[in-house]
């Protein structure tokens, strides 16, 4: 597991957990990961998450994945902006994700938001990931 990009590791863990139909996964803690998980929970892509202190100074996040009729709620999740190639977008030019059925998560000046919340706030930013 890479320690350079914790968000990419989290996205891969969620994808692998959903494919394996695991109910709970653990990911390394970062503020960005926590904010992305808040958006995923608000959009009902995951059930819940909680921050756990593994030992003094080391935190982890337990994520409860969501399923509907035995099938994973998240069909597709992909990291868009990477440390080597950041992807920024103005809100006016941001294309819809899966014809409006999916969401894109953006890091904006007003915090980490889903694409439709960013459109309401009229702010663009770094496109972190895309979820369907």
Domain count, the chain: 1
Tell me whether residue 53 is in a domain.
yes
Is 41 in a helix, a strand, or coil? helix
**DSSP state, 21?**
T
What is the pTM assigned to this prediction?
0.94
Tell me whether residue 122 is in a domain.
yes
Query: The domain spanning residue 70 has which CATH number?
Result: 3.30.1490.10
Tell me whether residue 45 is in a domain.
yes
Tell me whether residue 1 is in a domain.
no
Range of the domain at 55: 6-131
> What does the pLDDT profile of the chain (132 residues) look like in tens digits?
556 799 999 999 999 999 999 999 999 999 999 999 999 999 999 999 999 999 999 999 999 999 999 999 999 999 999 999 999 999 999 999 999 899 999 999 999 999 999 999 999 999 999 999
Tell me whether residue 62 is in a domain.
yes
118-125 long-range contacts (CB < 8 A, ≥24 apart) are 118/91, 118/94, 119/91, 119/94, 122/91, 123/91, 124/88, 124/89, 124/90, 124/91, 124/92, 124/94, 125/88, 125/89
Tell me whether residue 87 is in a domain.
yes
């Amino acid at each position: 597991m890479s320690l350079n990009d914790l968000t990419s590791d989290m996205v891969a863990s969620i994808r692998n957990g959903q494919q394996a139909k695991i109910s709970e996964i653990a990911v390394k803690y970062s503020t960005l990961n926590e904010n992305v998980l808040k958006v995923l929970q608000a959009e009902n892509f995951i059930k819940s998450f909680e921050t756990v202190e593994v030992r003094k100074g080391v935190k982890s996040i337990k994520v409860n994945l969501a399923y509907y009729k035995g099938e994973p709620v998240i069909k597709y999740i992909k990291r868009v902006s990477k440390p080597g190639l950041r992807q920024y977008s103005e809100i006016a030019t941001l294309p819809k994700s899966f014809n409006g059925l999916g969401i894109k998560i953006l890091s904006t000046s007003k915090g980490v938001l889903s694409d439709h919340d960013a459109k309401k706030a009229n702010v663009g930013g770094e496109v972190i990931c895309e979820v369907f």
